[in-house]
Amino acid sequence: MNNLGIVKRNISRADKAAVDKLSRFGVATIHEAMGRVGLMKPYMRPIYNEARICGTAVTVLLQPGDNWMMHVAAEQLQPGDVVVAACTTDNADGFFGDLLATSFKARGAVGLIIDGGVRDVKDLTEMNFPVFSKAIHAKGTIKATLGSVNIPVVCAGAQVNPGDVVIADIDGVVVVPADVAQQVADASEAREANEGDKRAIFASGVLGLDYYKMREGLAKAGLRYID
């Protein structure tokens, strides 16, 4: 019953075409396309403003104050993967720094999502290695206790299965289950299609009240205008 101390080697990654397509859309759009679910909590923030990630998840379950499993995870990485690291408890220690980033990058990883702390932020920024984390903290970690790699994890309030697509930008982090990646990519595309038009319409002064035909609904709900 215990799913600790496990490394799953063969995981089923989302289809590359779907991942590529998803990489064209923002987190807000994708999350809407999924029915407004799949977001991590908003305390997950990029270590630099331009950070952006779209990749397939290699998951890690960490123990507090211990980054042993990050090294184990490195070996499982394939080009296009993003490491998604959860912890068995709330802990903001600096589980990740420039050396691990160098190693992840060498394996082709495109970024890190971690419900914990990171350090060496200046180096990571210079390396242009995107990280979304709960905290920045210099606190070092040890290598003593087993967690797992590539088991389902809960990271910052979102369920993540290995192989899922994870997209992160300044608006947050969203998880797209592998088996619906293509559908969500298509829905995102559809959703975005008329955004440019809408922006032009609103820029011209048309109100959402009229464009979305909200006046009747508001009146029915009882909205009263007074002077």
How far out from the chain centre does Cα 218 lie? 36
Q: Using the rule CB under 8 A, is 15 a contact of a copy of itself?
A: no
120: left (phi over 0), alpha (psi -120 to 50) or beta: left
Contacting residue, 15, 23, 80, 103, with a copy of itself by CB under 8 A: 103
**Rounded Cα gap, residues 113 and 160, in angstroms:** 11
Q: Using the rule CB under 8 A, is 214 a contact of a copy of itself?
A: yes
209: left (phi over 0), alpha (psi -120 to 50) or beta: alpha
Binding mask of the shown chain, residues 39 to 58, with x at each position contacting a copy of itself by CB under 8 A: x-xx--x-------------
Contacting residue, 24, 126, 190, 212, with a copy of itself by CB under 8 A: 212
Nearer of residues 18 and 56 to a copy of itself, judged by Cβ: 18
Bridge partners of residue 140, in order along the sequence = none
**Rounded Cα gap, residues 195 and 181, in angstroms:** 21
Contacting residue, 23, 80, 177, 189, with a copy of itself by CB under 8 A: 177
Q: Using the rule CB under 8 A, is 81 a contact of a copy of itself?
A: no
Touching a copy of itself, residues 129-168 (CB under 8 A): 135-140, 142-146, 152, 154, 157-159
Do 150 and 61 form a contact (C-beta atoms < 8 A)?
Answer: no
Q: Using the rule CB under 8 A, is 196 a contact of a copy of itself?
A: no
CB of 30 to a copy of itself, least distance (A): 8
To the nearest 10°, the Cα dihedral for 13, 78, 152, 59? -150
CB of 16 to a copy of itself, least distance (A): 18
Do 118 and 112 form a contact (C-beta atoms < 8 A)?
Answer: yes
Nearer of residues 5 and 16 to a copy of itself, judged by Cβ: 5
Nearer of residues 56 and 63 to a copy of itself, judged by Cβ: 63
**Rounded Cα gap, residues 100 and 30, in angstroms:** 29
Q: Using the rule CB under 8 A, is 12 a contact of a copy of itself?
A: no
Radius of gyration of the CA atoms of the chain, in A: 20
Q: Which residue has the tokens 């609904």?
A: 217
Contacting residue, 24, 122, 126, 190, with a copy of itself by CB under 8 A: 122
Nearer of residues 17 and 138 to a copy of itself, judged by Cβ: 138
Contacting residue, 71, 79, 128, 190, with a copy of itself by CB under 8 A: 71
